[in-house]
Structure 1
Amino acid sequence: MFESRHIKTFHEVVRSGSYSAAARSLGYTQPAITQQMKALERAVGTPLFTRVGRRVRLTEAGEAMARHADTILDSLSAAQQQMNAITRLRSGRVRVCAFPSAAATLIPEAMARIAAEHPGVRVELLEGEPPDSLRRLARGECDLTLAFTYPGLHAEVPAELVEIPLLEDQLTVLLPTGHPLARRRAVHLNDLTEERWIAGCPRCRANFLHACAEEGFTPDIAFTTDDNLVVQSLVAAGVGVAVMPALVLSFLCHKKVTGRLLEPHSRRQISAYALREHLRIPATALVLAELKRAAEARVGC
């Protein structure tokens, strides 16, 4: 295996024509140049130079090495420049997997700042619900995952992932605007026992069923969909009501839908997840910092 410093020294010896000239150019002593060239020759397994007076001449192996030295050094220089760009956030790619309501709220706010301040950093957005999104992270299909958990419900998280809490998201109930309970500031779950329901993703549905069981009733789930816009449309049409996180209230699309706080109060924990070693990658750390900033702004609203 060749050392890059030996290749650099070899290149200078070839350019200048002697060990002493290379030593002056590189700021080394001549014995240091000699030792490096001997080490390179040992690595190659054959002499690279022969002496002609005070100058050196390349052997056949030396000529072959010289043909590759420029390419090797150019590649090393390009690699160093690219690494500098990545560490100084002039470039980089981060793949973020997020569930829909986070993708519609936290992600745009964070990405807008990154695009303005670090235009060379590319963020790619994938959509996925937990626990599948966490498995995708563990498989290396993304670099950061936004996921949520509910208190009291067991959630499997791969052991190799690190959780970074972002915010707690209050649950609300979506009602048709003309619903009698829409005039209240908050609605108790027990007041909705006779309603037909629209349920969401498997994790949200499991929490909803658990909450209803705690209140002593089984809900009539008429529709199931992961699409927030579909949920809103169904509620607006008056065919059911739905429990939704407060994040969704910031992008309600229907004037015929009203969101009210749900009692008893229930919240979901929204967190970012990453492989531990990825937290040291500058672009990933930047995206995570901006997601934290976006989450803190939501808490203050």
Structure 2
Amino acid sequence: MVDPRYIRMFHEVVATGSYSAAARSLGYSQPAVSRQMRALERCVGTPLFVRVGRAMRLTEAGEVLARHAESVTADLAAAQNQISAIADLRAGTIRICAFPSASATIVPAATASATRAHPGLRIRLVEDEPPGSLETLRRGECDIALAFTYPGFGERPCDDVIGIEVLEDPVVAVLPTGHRLSRRRSLDLAELRGERWIAGCPRCRDHFVRACAAAGFEPDIAFTTDDNLAVQSLVAAGTGIALMPRLVLSFLKHPRIVGRRVRRVHHRSISAYVLRDHRRIPATALMLETFRRVGEQMRREP
């Protein structure tokens, strides 16, 4: 493999006509240019220049290389400019995988903040619930995965994945407006013993069943769906009640339901996950910090 620095210097020697002129143009000494040209000739295995009197002339091999050197040098310069733009956050793409309620709340706020400061950034968003989002991250199909866990539940990330806590999202009871407990500001899960329930995604359902067991009862689950709008509509129709993360109700709320805080039920923890080595990439580091800052702002909101 030919060192690109040799090609750039060779191109300058050809353009200026001598080692000394190339040295002046590039800010090198003339012996340094001579050494690099000899190294280039050893690399390609044949002479590239011959002297004719006091002038230098390209060999046939040198003429072949000269025809390619200009485009190679231009391509390298273009690549360097593009890399510099990415490193300086003037360009680049960030791929985010998030669960639906984060896609509707945390991601828009973080994206708006990041792109206001760096308009050249581009965001690509795909949706998946954990643990699927973490698998997407491990396969290299996204740069950052937003995922949630409950205390004592969910897999631990591998050694090559690190997580940055973004937000603690309380779980609320979703009740129809005419429910006997709908006027209460908060309630205990045990007070909902005997109700019919609507369960959500597998991870939320697992947490819900265990929370009910800790409260001393087994829930009567009449419906299961991971569609938050469907859950709310079923509750509004009087077919059951549900537990739901408060984040969902911040952007989507049926007019005939209420959300009430539930005591002694674990919150879900939302984190941004990234492959350990990728945290050094400027755009990824920027987005992680932006997610953390957005989470702080959301915690301060009533």
Q: TM-score, normalised by structure 1?
A: 0.97
The percentage of aligned residue pairs carrying the same residue is 59
Q: Could you tell me whether the CA contact under 8 Å between 1:135 and 1:158 is conserved in 2? A: no
Looking at structure 1, the residues matched to 152 and 229 of structure 2 have their Cα atoms a distance apart, in angstroms, of: 28
2: CA distance, partners of 1:180 / 1:116: 47
> Which residue pairs with 1:226 in the alignment?
226
1:72-87 correspondence to structure 2 within 5 Å: 72-87=72-87
Which residue number in structure 2 is paired with residue 283 of structure 1? 283
Please tell me whether the aligned partners of residues 162 and 273 of structure 1 are also in contact (alpha carbons under 8 angstroms). yes
Mapped partners of 2:23, 2:129: distance in 1? 61
* Amino acid corresponding to residue 237 of structure 1 in structure 2: A
Q: One-letter code of the match for 1:76? A: L
Task: Give the secondary structure class of the aligned counterpart of 1:90.
Answer: coil
Q: 1:23 to 1:292 in 2, by over 3 A?
A: same
Once the two structures are superposed, residues 121-180 of structure 1 have per-residue CA deviations (whole angstroms, 9 ceiling, x without a partner) of 111111111111111111111110111111122524333211111121111110001111
Secondary structure of 1:40's partner?
A: helix
Which residue pairs with 1:209 in the alignment? 209
For 1:66, the equivalent position in structure 2 comes to 66
Q: Alignment RMSD, CA only? A: 1.2
What do the CA deviations read for 1:208-267 (whole angstroms, capped 9, x no partner)? Answer: 000111112111111111111111111111111110111112123311010000122421
Deviation beyond 4 Å, 4+ runs, structure 1: none
What one-letter code is carried by the residue in structure 2 that aligns with 1:35? R
Give the secondary structure class of the aligned counterpart of 1:251. coil
TM-superposition CA deviations, 1:178-210 (whole Å, max 9, x none): 111010010211111111111111111001000
1:1-301 equivalent positions in 2, closer than 5 A: 1-301=1-301
C-alpha distance in 1 between matches for 2:190 and 2:26: 81
Q: Aligned partner of 2:271: which letter?
A: S
Tell me the distance in 2 between the aligned counterparts of 1:198 and 1:159.
36
Once the two structures are TM-superposed, the CA of residue 115 in structure 1 deviates from its matched residue by: 2.9
User: Contact conserved, 1:18 with 1:54, CA < 8 A, in 2?
Assistant: no
**2: distance between equivalents of 1:5 and 1:154?**
50
- Once the two structures are overlaid, the 10-residue window that deviates more, 167-176 or 149-158, is 149-158
User: How far apart in 2 are the matches of 1:298 and 1:170?
Assistant: 12
**Cα distance in 2 for residues equivalent to 1:27 and 1:134:** 50
Once residues 293 and 172 of structure 1 are traced to their aligned partners in structure 2, the CA distance between those partners, rounded to angstroms, is 24
5+ residue gaps, structure 2, are none
TM-score, structure 2 normalization: 0.96
- Conserved? CA contact 1:188–1:262, under 8 Å: yes
